[in-house]
Structure 1
Amino acid sequence: MNEVSTLEGWREYVDASYERPLPVGRDELAAMTFGDRAIYNVARARYSQAGAFVKTPQYRAFQRATRERIYLNQSRRVGKLGLILSGEPGQGKTTTLLEVGKEHELRRRHTNHPVAADGNIPVIYVAVPAQCTAKALLQEFARFFALPTLTRMTYGALLDMVANAMRRCSTELVLIDDVHHLDLRYRQNVEASDMLKQLSERCGGTFVYAGIAVEATGLLSGTREGQIRKRFELHTAGPFKISSKQGQSDWGDLLLAVEDSLCLLQQRPGAILAAAKALHRLTNGEIGLLKDLLQLAAYRAIEDGSEELDLAEFEHEVERRQANKQSARL
């Protein structure tokens, strides 16, 4: 499996398709050979972990905003619009970024759009390395395109090479992850941030940033505040709240979608809602923690043959945590 921050890895990610295994009865599962049963269980796990993407209201809003900006930027030479996705760890920022890019590229392919023609690269994904300089970040772009670089290449030569590649490949969407590494309290990061602006002006792509607490990095304050805030719309990936009816409904929809993705043979659809409050307390409404918790519980249900979530265990875990907190206070 190649890194998604390379063209080979990105294409591998976009092309990957995980079909949902057909449900079977308990008797049919028991009648399978050890090998066939193992293959079936692996297929269920792969579908749950990589094939079943849950489109939350936050995701749909971000996807719509991305489409709008790609459309508006098509005829702009300067002042291109962009997006920033900010939030704490575990809120699905990277997953959202990748899925938005994947869906865009697949949509271009399925409609035979010119940017998806052979030799073109409609979407690129780059992760900002820690303590990066402008040249180091440009080299990450070059690495995605598999462009040959030399240590003695100047900043200007690297910028020209990357910008030319993006124009030749008709790149429409530029996904830049881990942008919190561009903390503008450090001069080298200021230069890297300025480089992204230069690159944006030289190519036709829509730039989309994602990172942890981007508001605290300086990208949205100081001398750059007006420039960035006017062109980049900020979206915040946060935990689900259940203090309102709409929040409870959104949380319930998420639970139902994840429950369905687990492919447990004896899980009654909708049964998970009985543990909605317990699951929220255990995960604080974070989608990453929720998926990890439920996928682990599903694995155990497959291993012990019960083929359904132990909902009572979630309630017991809440009680255990409360008891531990009380003991710690004494």
Structure 2
Amino acid sequence: MLETTDTEALARQTRITLARNAASTATARRGLAVSGAAGMGKSTALQLIGKRHEKAERTRLDRITDSAFAPVVYAVVPPATTPKMLMQAFAHWLGLPVLQRATAQTVTEQVVSVLRTLGTTLVVVDEVHNLTTNRQAGAEAASALKQFADRLDATFFYAGIDLPATDLFAGNMGRQIKARMIVHQMRPYGIGSKADREAWTELVLGVEDLLPLAGHEPESLAEEAAYLWDRTGGSIGALRALLSDAAIGAIIDGAEKIDRRRLDATATDYAADEHHKAQAIRPAQPRKRGLKRAQ
């Protein structure tokens, strides 16, 4: 994983949110929502945050190898989810058996009991845009998630695509959720300013450094930075996919290096391909960004 300005900001906000919730006796705890288009690295960022919190808590409490301790739990919201499907996702992560005839309430009670026993303090819920509250099942699932969060002495982090525009943040339920959430918006890298171009080039070199290519000249992709932005639209996910696929091709045919010809021959995802063909996307607002390897 690579440390970016987004992950640094999220790490800082995580520490603040966890400390605030630990000191609060109120039921309505503060949460964090990470929003953005597909391929911005939302899930990867939250997994990194979860990994760090897990390591820190195990070290702080001297429970490094304790299998009866789980400070972090991660679950993905299934498409067209129902309350039972949502709670089954948590049960699956925990390895809990769920009877087919079990009700959503039964599964919830089981999950809540186990999470309390395991000492969970951070719950990461991914793909929350799948909670479509304009349908009865989705609205019930969103309500179940809210009640679930209220019953646990834990901080909840959410990730999803364009969350402010989703059903989750609409209506009465949405107003309650928004009142508790800090939203971090992840955007594509831009190249509209010198600082943006330098940050993008630094990201390119960071991804390049991860590639296991025996014959590749280090930092040779710096001169292809503008080309790579045009191919990926500034998406870190698209960039990593493009360079990884190019590296795999180079390993398969024995070249062990990446150049412009190799990049031209490497396909990208459809969204990045559309950007490349249109060449009309507006760069993101200039902002200073930094990069280093995540620990």
TM-score under structure 2 normalisation? 0.82
Please give the alpha-carbon distance, in whole angstroms, between the structure 1 residues aligned to 2:161 and 2:55: 28
Larger gyration radius, structure 1 or structure 2: 1
Question: Does structure 1 retain, via aligned residues, the 8 Å contact 2:43–2:159?
Answer: yes
Please give the alpha-carbon distance, in whole angstroms, between the structure 2 residues aligned to 1:120 and 1:131: 32
Alignment match, 1:103: 52
Q: Secondary structure at the match of 1:162?
A: helix
| 1:200 maps onto 2:149 in alignment | yes
Alignment match, 1:55: 3
The aligned runs of 1:230-249 (5 Å cut-off) are 230-249=179-198
Deviation at 1:121, TM superposition (A): 0.9
Deviation at 1:274, TM superposition (A): 0.4
The aligned runs of 1:295-314 (5 Å cut-off) are 295-311=244-260, 313-314=262-263
Deviation at 1:108, TM superposition (A): 2.4
Alignment match, 1:129: 78
CA change 1:316–1:304 in 2 (3 A) is closer
Higher helix share: 1
Deviation at 1:258, TM superposition (A): 0.7
Deviation at 1:224, TM superposition (A): 2.9
**Higher mean Cα deviation, 287-296 or 68-77?**
68-77
Specify the code of the residue in structure 1 equivalent to 2:8: R
The aligned runs of 1:8-157 (5 Å cut-off) are 53-77=1-25, 78-113=27-62, 117-157=66-106
The aligned runs of 1:279-318 (5 Å cut-off) are 279-311=228-260, 313-314=262-263
Deviation at 1:83, TM superposition (A): 1.0
Deviations 1:83-114 (A, max 9, x none): 11112222222222222212221222334456
Please give the alpha-carbon distance, in whole angstroms, between the structure 2 residues aligned to 1:325 and 1:151: 49
Deviation at 1:257, TM superposition (A): 0.7
| 1:270 maps onto 2:210 in alignment | no
Deviation at 1:195, TM superposition (A): 1.1
Deviation at 1:275, TM superposition (A): 0.5
Q: Return the match for 2:139 from 190, 193, 199.
A: 190
Report how many aligned residue pairs link the two structures. 271
Deviation at 1:144, TM superposition (A): 2.1
Q: Which runs of 5+ in 1 are unaligned?
A: 1-52
Alignment match, 1:177: 126
Deviation at 1:301, TM superposition (A): 2.8
Deviations 1:273-324 (A, max 9, x none): 101100000111111111111112222333444432213554799xxx99x9
Deviation at 1:137, TM superposition (A): 1.0
Q: Secondary structure at the match of 2:191?
A: coil
CA change 1:325–1:117 in 2 (3 A) is closer
CA change 1:246–1:229 in 2 (3 A) is farther
Deviations 1:199-240 (A, max 9, x none): 111111111111122222222232134322221111122211
| 1:228 maps onto 2:177 in alignment | yes
Please give the alpha-carbon distance, in whole angstroms, between the structure 2 residues aligned to 1:314 and 1:298: 9
Same amino acid, percent of matched pairs? 36
Please give the alpha-carbon distance, in whole angstroms, between the structure 1 residues aligned to 2:254 and 2:54: 40
Please give the alpha-carbon distance, in whole angstroms, between the structure 2 residues aligned to 1:296 and 1:316: 10
Deviations 1:235-276 (A, max 9, x none): 122211111222212211111111111132333332211011
Q: Secondary structure at the match of 1:246?
A: helix
Deviation at 1:72, TM superposition (A): 1.7
Q: Which runs of 5+ in 2 are unaligned?
A: 267-272, 279-295
Please give the alpha-carbon distance, in whole angstroms, between the structure 2 residues aligned to 1:101 and 1:114: 16
RMSD: 2.6
Question: Does structure 1 retain, via aligned residues, the 8 Å contact 2:207–2:240?
Answer: yes
Question: Does structure 1 retain, via aligned residues, the 8 Å contact 2:21–2:29?
Answer: yes
CA change 1:198–1:282 in 2 (3 A) is same
TM-score under structure 1 normalisation? 0.74
Please give the alpha-carbon distance, in whole angstroms, between the structure 1 residues aligned to 2:58 and 2:184: 27
